[in-house]
A and B are shown apart, each in its own frame.
Chain A
C-alpha cells in the first residue's frame, strides 16, 4: 500500500548494544556475534555463537520494581520502544496519548513458554507458574509496553514468521491512513534460547559458522540473533521527519515481483542457504555495490526485516548509505515483503 509513514524516531537493542550510537558503530565496524550459548547434543555440548542482546538499560526508563516479573522478551521490546520514543523527543510515560502499539514477532515469548514447561515437567502440574503462563503469550511484549508506558490506544501483535514486519507495517498504514490514531509505535522482537539453537543444530547440521556471510548464497552461515527494533511512525505532517518516510509497503508474489530501480536494495538474506538461493535468483543482474545487508550485525531472526529497516534508516540519515532504499524479505518460494523508504514523501497519499 502506498501511504507515507513519517519515521519520527528509532530504537534498537541487539547484540551490538542499545543506542543509535552503538548501532552506527556496529554498521561501520561490521560487528559480529558477541556471545555464545551452549547446547547439548548427542555428541556432547556445543557452544554456538549468538548475537545476544541485553535489556538492562531499560532501568533508565522504567523503575526496576515494575520490571520484576517481566521476561526478557518483553524487556527487549519495551527498551526499544522507549528508545524510539526518546529519539522522537517524547516523554515517557504517555497517558492520554492517541498512540497505537504494534509488535511483530516470529518466535514470540517461547523462552517463557519453555520455563513454564520446565516447572510442569520437572516438578509436576501443580507447580505450573501463573506468572510464566501469563507472560508466555505472544502479546505479552505489546501488553507490557502499553502498561509500562501507559499507552491506551489500539494494540496488535502479529506473528507471520519472516513476513511479520511487513504485515505489521501494513496494519500501521491502515490505522494512520484512516486517522484512527496519531502515531504508531511499531517494532519487531525475537529472542534466542537453547531450544532454538538445538533446532539450528539439527535442521542445518554441519560446521558451525563463526561469522555470517549472507552474500555467499551457497553456504549455511546463519547465526541466531535476538533483540528488538522499533519505530515511531506518524502521518506526513509536512515537516520533514528526521529519518524520512516509509512510502510504500507491499506483500508481493515472488513470481511477479521486480526489484525497484534507483533504489539501494537492503536484502533480508540472513545466512540460510535455502533462502540464499532464492535471493540469488532474485538479484541476478543487480550491481552488488547497490546491495546492503544488516543481518551480519544483528544475526538471523524472523523479525529481521524490522531491524533492516531501522538500521538502514539510521545509516541513511548519517550518510552511510543512500537515502532511497527498498528492504526486501523473502518467505518461502512465494512471498516477498517490500518496504520502500526515502528521505522524501514523494508518493501520493492513497493506495
Chain B
C-alpha cells in the first residue's frame, strides 16, 4: 500500500463537527445512518403552491441552532456553519482563546448562504411596497465564513467558496492549500446550506426532484430530495498537530478539482471531469484505484448524476464497495461535500460502511451496485466525490488516522 507522495505534506483532520437531518453532531449522525433509518418530511416551513409535494430532509428540532427560525433568514447558513464549527473546534481541543493565538483561516462553502434571494424583500420591491433595509443588512452580515470568525472573535483570513454542490469539498481542499503554502497553521473548513423556497422551486423546475424518498443508484430513481445542514473540519499540519499532541481522525491524502467543460446543469456523460479529479487525488496521494477501500459517492439519485458515477465506478472501481448517504440526509448542496467527508472519515475509523438506503433494483446501465447492508471493510483509504452544477467535480481521499 502506498504512502502519501512527497508532493503533499500531510494535512490532518483533527476536529469534526456536523449537523443535518440525521442528527445534531457526529455520533448522532453516524448512529442514525448505521441504524438504517431515514426521516424525510413534507416541510411545513418550505412550501410552494404546486399541487405535488416533495419530501425534504430538515434538521430535527434537537439539532436546530438557537435563533435559527426566529432570526433573519439570510443568517441561517451562518448559524449552521457556527454550530458545526463549534463542534469541530471542541473536538480538536481548541477554544476561541487558543484559536486567537494561531494563524487561523476560515473557508466555508455554500450555495444559498451567499445568494441575495430573500423572497419577501424582493416581492415587496417588485410590487413597489418599498421594503426596509433590514433584510439587506442581514444579507451583508450573513457570509458564513465571516459569521464563524465573528463567533470565535477571530481576525483572520476568510473565504466563502461558491462552487455549487461541490462547495463543501472544495472549501476543504482550499483550506488544505492554505496550510501547505504556509498561509495558515489551522483552517476551519467545510460547508453549510439551508432549505428555502428558491432552492425548492428551482430544483423542482429542473425536474430532478423525487416525490418519494430518494433512491440513489436504483434503476427507478426519479431524482433528489433536498436537505440542510453543515459540516466543518479542523485541518492542521502534522507539525502543528504533533506540537499540540492531538491525534488525527484522518489524513487528507489527496484531492482534485476538475471541470467537465460541458454543460451548466448536467454532468458530462463520460464522467471525464470527475475521472480527472479522482486521478489527480490518487496521484497526489500516491495511490492506485485498488488502494481505495470504499467510496462515498455524490449519489444524488438524479438519473444523470448516478449514471455518470455508476458508469465511471464500473470502469475504475469495479470491485470497490460504494454508497450514497443522501438517502439519509438529502442533498445538502454546498454542505454535502463537507458532511460526506466527515461521514467518510467516521466510516474509515469504524471500518464499517453504511448501507445505501433507497436502493432496490439494479440499473443495468452500469455494472456496479451500492452496498445494501452495513458492511465491514478492511482498508486505510477512502474516496468521497462531489459533482456540481456547471461541471465542477471534486474528489477527496482520506487515510484513516490514529484517533479511535
List A residues at the B interface (Cβ < 8 Å).
Answer: 1, 3, 40-42, 69, 95, 101, 105, 107-108, 110, 113-114, 116-118, 120-122, 124-126, 128-130, 133-140, 142-144, 146-147, 149-161, 163, 167, 170-171, 173-175, 177-178, 195, 198-199, 202-203, 251, 253, 334-335, 351
Using A110-B116, A124-B49, A160-B143 as known contacts, say yes or no to A146 and B181 having CB atoms under 8 A apart: no
Contact status B163-A139, CB under 8 Å: yes
Docked CA distance A120–B160 (Å): 28
Contact status A175-B177, CB under 8 Å: yes
Closest to A177 in B: B181
Contact status A202-B133, CB under 8 Å: yes
Contact status B158-A130, CB under 8 Å: no
Docked CA distance A161–B114 (Å): 10
A3, A113, A140: the one contacting B198 at CB < 8 Å is A113
Contact status A139-B182, CB under 8 Å: no
Contact status A128-B202, CB under 8 Å: yes
Using A117-B122, A121-B119, A128-B201 as known contacts, say yes or no to A158 and B206 having CB atoms under 8 A apart: no
B7 contacts which chain A residues (CB < 8 A)?
178
Contact status A152-B273, CB under 8 Å: yes
B160 contacts which chain A residues (CB < 8 A)?
158-160
B201, B207, B276, B388: the one contacting A125 at CB < 8 Å is B201
B273 contacts which chain A residues (CB < 8 A)?
152
16 cross-chain CB contacts under 8 A: A113-B198, A128-B205, A134-B206, A134-B265, A137-B111, A139-B163, A144-B264, A147-B260, A152-B261, A154-B259, A160-B159, A170-B157, A178-B181, A195-B116, A202-B136, A253-B155
Contact status A1-B182, CB under 8 Å: yes
Mask, B129-145, CB within 8 Å of A = 1, is 01011001000100101
Contact status B177-A139, CB under 8 Å: no
Docked CA distance A16–B322 (Å): 54
Docked CA distance A40–B129 (Å): 10
B259 contacts which chain A residues (CB < 8 A)?
101, 143, 146, 151-155
Contact status A41-B119, CB under 8 Å: no
Q: Which of B31-39, B219-227, B290-298, B389-397 contacts A (4 or more CB under 8 A)?
A: B389-397
For residue B115, CB closer than 8 A to chain A, the reply is: yes
Chain A nearest CB, measured from B5 CB (Å): 12
- Known A140-B264, A158-B159; further 5 A-B contacts with Cβ < 8 A: A114-B122, A142-B390, A147-B261, A171-B159, A171-B177
For residue B162, CB closer than 8 A to chain A, the reply is: yes
Docked CA distance A60–B126 (Å): 36
**Counting chain A CB atoms within 10 Å of each CB, which of B114, B198, B203 scores highest?**
B114
Contact status A167-B159, CB under 8 Å: yes
Mask, B271-302, CB within 8 Å of A = 1, is 01100100000000000000000000000000
Closest to B265 in A: A134
A118 contacts which chain B residues (CB < 8 A)?
126
B164 contacts which chain A residues (CB < 8 A)?
137, 139, 143
Using A140-B390, A152-B273 as known contacts, say yes or no to A351 and B181 having CB atoms under 8 A apart: yes
Closest to B160 in A: A159
Docked CA distance A34–B133 (Å): 28
B356 contacts which chain A residues (CB < 8 A)?
none
A113 contacts which chain B residues (CB < 8 A)?
115-117, 198
Contact status A157-B391, CB under 8 Å: no
A136 contacts which chain B residues (CB < 8 A)?
115, 117, 202
A105 contacts which chain B residues (CB < 8 A)?
162
A41 contacts which chain B residues (CB < 8 A)?
130
For residue B128, CB closer than 8 A to chain A, the reply is: yes
A171 contacts which chain B residues (CB < 8 A)?
159, 174, 177
Contact status B260-A157, CB under 8 Å: no
Closest to B137 in A: A203
B265 contacts which chain A residues (CB < 8 A)?
130, 134
For residue B2, CB closer than 8 A to chain A, the reply is: no
A198 contacts which chain B residues (CB < 8 A)?
125
For residue B257, CB closer than 8 A to chain A, the reply is: yes
For residue B204, CB closer than 8 A to chain A, the reply is: yes
B123, B143, B198, B392: the one contacting A155 at CB < 8 Å is B392
Chain B nearest CB, measured from A335 CB (Å): 8
Chain B nearest CB, measured from A212 CB (Å): 21
For residue B217, CB closer than 8 A to chain A, the reply is: no
Using A133-B202, A155-B392, A203-B136 as known contacts, say yes or no to A121 and B258 having CB atoms under 8 A apart: no
Using A156-B163, A159-B160, A253-B155 as known contacts, say yes or no to A107 and B116 having CB atoms under 8 A apart: yes
Within 8 A of A (CB), among B252-272: 256-265, 272
